């Protein structure tokens, strides 16, 4: 085994349940419990899943968003994942970000994972831009010292210096997004997971953002990043 | 045995990788994040209210007046020889802290589903920071209690705190532990079965009447009922506070130890359940 692999997916599958989760689940669980624990048979709900095709009507309530995914990403690779809506791109990144767990399979990673599924997670309108930088940075996994040392750069990159001590609820939506992205841009993890968040801000800011991403010469995995990429 | 291969990977995600050692080490590593959530919660509470802090001082007084009328005047329940306002306020402050902690811990996963769906950090960070930020409101309410207390002392009433008041930090810790443990259990159960939320809402409001808040424990003269009351882990906490604050109530180390035991058991069950749920709850919420 080569020691330069950053991310490894081994037989990873993810099953979702369709429809209203709040109805009938108690009875489903009782049935599932009865079959798996009392009769000792295999879980019926893991078997009847079918392939994920959003346009055609399926017969099962369960669906495989990801099925038997195997791939490896080497250190230094920049990987983009493209596909139709509902193909499972975001699900894959959510698994890697540990937001939800896989149904089967193993994911292994070497290095600190920074995950950017949304910009400005944890922002609160009542808090100032500066306070939100600390909040958002800490949520993304930065330490206090890291945020402190990069604070000036983050503020400068966001271009919101004049409003940095104003509550974020007074910001325009573009400014909020710029601030959120600025924090994420200085996250500097070893593995960066990005999901469609680079399509933010105005043309000038997008240029700045893509430039920043090119600077990040590290192992990165992203879905649909940058509108330019998507158009190409 | 760990092979060389296992050591190489810093993160291994499987369908069943539960946090080791209750995941408390991961929570401790995020203490700065906890601090930020505490700060956020306190700041936000004040920026959105008209009266600001004033509300927290006055809030318990409303409940107090209601209790004086209903339980004091109409029902005629005695208050262990302590002036009614002092007696009711002591119970109200403690119960309010406990029940708000319990309610916010039990709704952790539901309220924070937005953040939890976008980024991973130990989910327990949220309920723990809630326990601390609610202390702020609790301390303001205790100020109201202290003010009323001093008013009666100034009027010349024989009200004296006892040494048991030194146990107060322990009492707060016990309430936090009980609220967190039970809250995590409820939170884990309600991710799938939402109707349980309503059930627990009713349960908590009835629980107050099973705790000596609006009546003294000494008023429960039936020996069987008195014994049953002591099975409520909050009974001894409330009574100890009353003994400490004005020397009226029942104190025993045994029942306080029982409450501590309950706390440990509930916390262990709660954290174990919560850790099991934390991985997949976002799919079912």
More confident residue, A57 or B8: B8
Interval A41-64 mean pLDDT: 58
Interval B149-176 mean pLDDT: 90
Q: Do B120 and A97 touch (CB under 8 A)?
A: yes
Closest CA to B98 of B261, B241, B245, B269: B241
Chain A residues with beta carbon closer than 8 angstroms to that of B47? 126, 167
- What distance in Å separates residue A106's CA from the closest CA in chain B? 5
Among A24-33, A45-54, B231-240, the range with the most confident prediction by mean pLDDT is B231-240
How much is the pLDDT for A227? 33
The CATH architecture annotation of domain A5-110 reads 3-Layer(aba) Sandwich (3.40)
Bridge partners of residue B41, in order along the sequence = none
How much is the pLDDT for A225? 41
More confident residue, B279 or A52: B279
The domain defined by A115-231 folds into Rossmann fold (3.40.50)
Question: What percent of chain B has pLDDT above 70?
Answer: 93
Q: Do B11 and A113 touch (CB under 8 A)?
A: yes
Order the strands of the A191-195 sheet from edge to edge: A78-81, A219-223, A191-195, A113-116
More confident residue, B15 or B242: B242
> Do you know the residue count of chain B?
285
**CATH 3.40.50.300 intervals, chain A:** 5-110, 115-231
Least confident of A18-27, B38-47, B161-170: A18-27
How much is the pLDDT for A23? 45
Q: Which long-range contacts (CB under 8 A, 24 or more apart) does A124-127 make?
A: A124/A168, A124/B40, A124/B44, A125/A167, A125/A168, A125/A169, A126/A167, A126/A168, A126/A169, A126/B43, A126/B44, A126/B47, A126/B48, A127/A167, A127/A168, A127/B40, A127/B43, A127/B44
Asked if pLDDT for residue A219 goes beyond 70, the answer is no
Chain A residues with beta carbon closer than 8 angstroms to that of B279? 100-101
A159 and A178 in contact (C-beta within 8 Å)? Answer: yes
Q: Do A134 and B116 touch (CB under 8 A)?
A: no
Question: What percent of chain A has pLDDT above 70?
Answer: 69
Return the number of CB contacts < 8 Å for A and B.
108
Spatial distance between the Cα atoms of A181 and A117, rounded to a whole number of angstroms: 11
Q: Which two tokens stand for residue B99?
A: 């029940």
Element of type H or E holding A195: strand A191-195
Closest CA to A184 of A220, A148, A218, A142: A142
**ipTM, two decimals:** 0.81
Spatial distance between the Cα atoms of A101 and B283, rounded to a whole number of angstroms: 9
B32 and A138 in contact (C-beta within 8 Å)? Answer: yes
Least confident of A88-92, A162-166, B183-187, B280-284: B280-284
Q: Do B44 and A124 touch (CB under 8 A)?
A: yes
Q: What is the mean pLDDT of chain A?
A: 76
Q: What is the pLDDT of residues A11-46, one digit of tens each?
A: 888 888 765 544 445 666 676 667 666 666 665 555
| Cα angle A171-A172-A173, degrees, rounded to a multiple of 5 | 115
How much is the pLDDT for A228? 30
Q: Do B14 and A96 touch (CB under 8 A)?
A: no
Q: What is the pLDDT of residues B94-153, one digit of tens each?
A: 999 999 999 999 888 888 888 888 888 888 999 999 999 999 889 989 999 999 999 999
Chain A residues with beta carbon closer than 8 angstroms to that of B280? 100-101
How much is the pLDDT for B178? 96
Query: Which DSSP category does A62 fall into?
Result: E
Q: Do B120 and A111 touch (CB under 8 A)?
A: no
Q: Do B192 and A21 touch (CB under 8 A)?
A: yes
Work out the widest C-alpha separation in chain A, in whole angstroms.
Answer: 67
Spatial distance between the Cα atoms of A119 and A186, rounded to a whole number of angstroms: 13
Q: What is the pLDDT of residues B191-206, one digit of tens each?
A: 777 777 778 888 888 9
How much is the pLDDT for A49? 46
- What distance in Å separates residue B9's CA from the closest CA in chain A? 5
- What distance in Å separates residue B273's CA from the closest CA in chain A? 16
- What distance in Å separates residue A208's CA from the closest CA in chain B? 24
Distances (CA, A) of B73 to B47, B57, B209, B244: 38, 24, 17, 26
């Amino acid at each position: 085994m080569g020691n330069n692999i950053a991310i490894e997916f081994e037989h990873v599958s993810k099953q979702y349940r369709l429809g209203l989760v709040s109805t009938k689940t108690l009875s489903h669980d009782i049935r599932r419990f009865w079959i798996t624990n009392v009769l000792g048979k295999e879980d019926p709900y893991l078997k009847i899943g079918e392939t994920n095709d959003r346009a055609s009507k399926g017969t099962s309530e369960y669906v495989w968003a990801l099925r038997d995914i195997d791939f490896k990403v080497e250190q230094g690779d920049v990987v983009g994942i493209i596909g139709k809506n509902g193909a499972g791109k975001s699900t894959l990144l959510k698994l890697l970000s540990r937001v939800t767990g896989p149904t089967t399979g193993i994911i292994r990673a070497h290095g600190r994972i920074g995950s950017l599924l949304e910009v400005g997670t944890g922002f609160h309108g009542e808090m100032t831009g500066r306070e939100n930088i600390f909040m958002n940075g800490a949520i993304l996994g930065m330490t206090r010292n890291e945020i402190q040392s990069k604070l000036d750069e983050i503020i400068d990159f966001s271009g919101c210096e004049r409003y940095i001590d104003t509550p974020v609820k007074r910001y325009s939506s573009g400014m909020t997004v710029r601030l959120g992205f600025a924090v994420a841009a200085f996250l500097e993890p070893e593995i960066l997971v990005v999901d469609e968040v680079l399509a933010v801000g105005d043309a000038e800011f997008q240029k700045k953002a893509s430039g920043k991403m090119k600077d990040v010469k590290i192992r990165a995995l992203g879905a649909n990043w940058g509108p330019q990429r998507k158009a190409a | 045995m760990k092979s060389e291969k296992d050591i190489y990977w810093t993160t291994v995600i499987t369908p069943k990788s539960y946090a080791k050692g209750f995941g408390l080490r991961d929570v401790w590593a995020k203490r700065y994040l906890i601090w930020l959530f505490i700060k956020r919660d306190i700041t936000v509470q004040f920026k959105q209210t008209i009266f600001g802090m004033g509300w927290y001082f006055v809030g318990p007084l409303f409940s107090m007046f209601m209790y004086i009328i209903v339980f004091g005047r109409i029902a005629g329940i005695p208050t262990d020889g302590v002036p009614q306002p002092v007696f009711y306020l002591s119970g109200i402050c403690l119960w309010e802290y406990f029940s708000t902690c319990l309610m916010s811990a039990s709704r952790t996963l539901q309220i924070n589903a937005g953040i939890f769906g976008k980024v991973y950090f130990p989910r327990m960070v949220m309920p723990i920071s809630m326990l601390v930020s609610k202390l702020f409101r609790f301390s303001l309410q205790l100020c109201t209690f202290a003010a009323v207390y001093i008013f009666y002392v100034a009027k010349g009433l024989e009200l004296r705190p006892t040494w048991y008041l030194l146990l107060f930090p322990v009492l707060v810790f016990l309430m936090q532990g009980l609220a967190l443990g039970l809250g995590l259990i409820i939170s884990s159960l309600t991710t799938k079965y939402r109707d349980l939320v309503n059930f627990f809402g009713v349960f908590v409001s009835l629980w107050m009447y099973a705790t000596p808040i609006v009546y003294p424990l000494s008023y429960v003269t039936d020996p069987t009922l008195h014994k049953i009351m002591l099975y409520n882990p909050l009974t001894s906490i409330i009574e100890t506070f009353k003994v400490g604050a004005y020397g009226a109530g029942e104190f025993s180390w045994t029942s306080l130890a029982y409450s501590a035991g309950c706390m440990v058991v509930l916390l262990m069950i709660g954290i174990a359940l919560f850790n099991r749920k934390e991985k997949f709850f976002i799919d079912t919420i």
